[in-house]
Amino acid sequence: MNRYFTLYCESKESRAHGRTFAFFSEISYTVPDKSGFRGKEKNGLLRCPKKYRRETKTLMVVTALVILAVICRLISIYDIADDGLNYFFSLMRTVIYIGIIITWGVSVRNRVINRSIRRYMQTVAALLLFWFVIRSCKFFFMDGIISLQYYCWYSYYIPMILIPMIGIYIAFCLGKTENYTLPLYMKALIIPAAVAIVLIFTNNFHQLVFGFPFGRAEADPVYIYRPLYFVCLGLIIAETLLFLILLLMRSQVPYKRKRIWGPVLPAAAGILYAIGYIAGFPAVFIAAGDMTAVLTLIMLSVCELCIQNGLIPSNTRYSELLKASTIGAQITDADFNRCIVSDNAKEFSKELMRRAVKEPVEIGNERLSGAPVTGGYVLWVEDISMVKDVMKKLEKISSRLSANNNLLKAEVELKEKQSRADEQRRIYDRITEEVEPQLKRLELLLEPSSDPVKTRENLGYACVMSAYIKRLGNLILLGEEATFLMSRELEYSFRESMENLRLCGVATSLSCICEGIISKDSAVAAYEFFEMVLEAALPTMKAILVNLTVEDRSVKIIFALSCPNSSVAADREFLKRHNAYAEVSEDGDDVRITFLMPKGGDTK
């Protein structure tokens, strides 16, 4: 006997190796192991068995068991043997049918892919098993307990009513995901089914389903069908027809209009059998008097034909699919013995297959990949010649882009250098523009003179001008880096100018209170006003006292000068442009100037 094992693909592992073999992550496989595989080898490749061989054997075994069960029934009915043997044959018949039901239910678990459909079909198997068990209890274990025998009989109608309804649920789940939940209106089908079951179970009180014209004193009394029975029968037939219609509408397989005849024929046979049984045709009772067995086989046939015809998605014949596919794939057992292979699959050493399971292995223009599955491994070959060609083209493109990138980088660096040079030129131009009057005057001061006294005096003035040019340029450069400067920078500028004034024979004194920060424009404007005062007073200035205060971004300068014949005056245009205030007062040779620039005194 062939031994089989089931391989369930590890979905995460399979997905990790790409989409080429991704369909393995969605299905499970029932494949023979090496010892039980009856195929032949050709050209070193393992061949699959002939098509439908296993299904044919299964059908033959089931047919033989059914014939054996029918023979057992005929022996029991016609008392061919004694009572002990009749009892044995009846029990044997029951065991055969129960075994068929259980075997089919287990096979459904391994074959049907969709979890919801699989559960509904297993429920059908459970209801059929319940039917046979309750029938066996009635005839074998409740002899003489009339009331319980009645309810066992009524229990037959639980599976008869519920199984067609479950068929509707199965048809409605076709094409849906495993987590699909039936809509509320479909779940409402349980209401008429439950009402019908309750009416049948309460028949002893109202006798609207079955009538007993001669009473219910016996376990198998004479009964007639009442109107509610035909209502229940109509419900069963309507559910069966609706199941077949939904099956045709929702199934996704090709040629489904031809395939639907598979389940339609046994379903129609079941309806005709029920009509003949109700009508009391003698031939029906002689040939198929066991209604439980007949309807069970019919229902199993309908479900099985739906699976075999592909109307209900199943997990079978994947060995044939793999064999016919263009993918060079194979499934091995845990020892890397090949079990199922496709026609164009190549044979590899076990060591190479072990490496491929850990990580893909390149073999020329092909790549061997693998993934673990329950009970073994799946391996497949991919043609990567196109990928390699693309990689070569990408390398060439990358090389060209790298060269272009170097050119662009050099161009950007050149532009950055040019930008920095332009910025420096702009700053120098601005400084030159700001100190242009001083530069012109400095040029005149540095002209040679025959008078030593005049030369010494000019050099002193030149030092004052140079200190101003240096410190004003420094303030402008600092202002290019930040909007605000430390107020100490203004103090340093004042001190250097005051020190150079001493070279002109001027007595100087500087008092500073500089705290916090000051705007760059305010610092430049205050220093420019300071320089204007010095240049206006220098020809006759003998002494100068300056008090500089910078607080809360505002500037206040107080000048006290000893300057006979002074020409110091406030430049109103300058003050207006810088939003500043200046007051000049004279007392003989003494001049007092107060300069105030409030917070935010930027250039207008």
- Given a cut of 60, whether residue 503 has pLDDT beyond it is yes
Task: Say which residue, 186 or 437, is predicted with more confidence.
Answer: 186
Which pLDDT band holds residue 373 (cuts at 50, 70, 90)? confident
Q: Are 216 and 224 in contact (CB under 8 A)?
A: no
Average pLDDT in the 314-327 region? Answer: 69
Distance, in Å, from the CA atom of 173 to the CA atom of 250, rounded to the nearest integer, reads 8
pLDDT single digits (tens) 374-388: 788 988 888 888 888
Check residue 386 and give its pLDDT: 87
**Other C-beta atoms lying within 10 Å of the C-beta of residue 521:** 18
Element (H, E) at 199: helix 190-201
- What whole-number distance in Å separates Cα of residue 26 and Cα of residue 313? 12
**Among 48-57, 121-130, 314-323, which is the least confidently predicted range?**
48-57
- d(CA 215, CA 226) in angstroms, rounded, equals 15
Task: Give residue 123's pLDDT.
Answer: 92
Max avg pLDDT among 87-96, 140-149, 422-431: 87-96
Task: Provide DSSP, 148-190.
Answer: HHHHHHHHTHHHHHHHHHHHHHHHHHTTS-TT----HHHHTTH
**With bands split at pLDDT 50, 70 and 90, how would you rate the model's confidence at 321?**
low
pLDDT value at residue 20: 35
Checking if the pLDDT of 43 tops 70, the result is: no
Sign of CA dihedral 166, 169, 171, 176: negative
In tens, the pLDDT along 447-461 reads 777 777 777 877 888
Q: What is the mean pLDDT of residues 402-412?
A: 86
Average pLDDT over residues 304-308: 85
- CA 411/CA 402 separation, integer angstroms: 14
For residue 2, the model assigns a pLDDT of 32
Q: How far is CA 182 from CA 108, 188, 195, 304, in A?
A: 21, 10, 21, 23
Level-2 CATH architecture, domain 437-597: 2-Layer Sandwich (3.30)
337-346, 399-408, 433-442, 518-527: which has the minimum mean pLDDT? 433-442
Is residue 156 a contact partner of residue 233, using CB atoms and an 8 Å limit?
no
With left for phi above 0 and alpha for psi between -120 and 50, is residue 526 left, alpha or beta? alpha
For residue 600, the model assigns a pLDDT of 58
H helix or E strand, kind and range, residue 31: strand 28-32
Q: What is the pLDDT of residue 457?
A: 78
Q: How far apart are CA 160 and CA 485, in angstroms?
A: 97
With contact defined as beta carbons under 8 Å apart, do 323 and 342 qualify? yes
Least confident of 281-290, 475-484, 572-581, 584-593: 281-290
Residues, the chain, total? 604
Mean pLDDT for 259-265 is 87
Question: What is the distance between the alpha carbons of residues 193 and 163, in angstroms, rounded to a whole number?
Answer: 10
CB 193 within 8 A of CB 161: yes
3-state secondary structure of 603: coil
What does the pLDDT read at residue 158? 92
- Residue pair 112/313 in contact (Cβ under 8 Å)? The answer is yes
| pLDDT band of 585, cuts 50, 70, 90 | confident
| pTM (two decimals) | 0.52
The β-bridge relationship of strands 581-587 and 338-341 is unpaired
- CA 601: distance to chain centroid? 60
Dihedral over alpha carbons 15, 20, 21, 26 (to 10 degrees) = 60
Sign of the C-alpha dihedral, residues 245, 249, 250, 255?
A: positive
The secondary structure of 282-309, three-state, reads HHHHHHHCCHHHHHHHHHHHHHHHHHHC
pLDDT in tens, 222-252: 788 889 989 998 999 999 899 888 888 888 7
In whole angstroms, give the CA distance from residue 568 to residue 587. Answer: 13
Per the CB < 8 A criterion, the answer to whether 545 and 560 are in contact is yes
Identify the band that residue 314 occupies on the pLDDT scale cut at 50, 70 and 90: confident
Q: What are the structural domain ranges in the chain?
A: 115-314, 386-434, 437-597
Average pLDDT, rounded, for the chain = 80
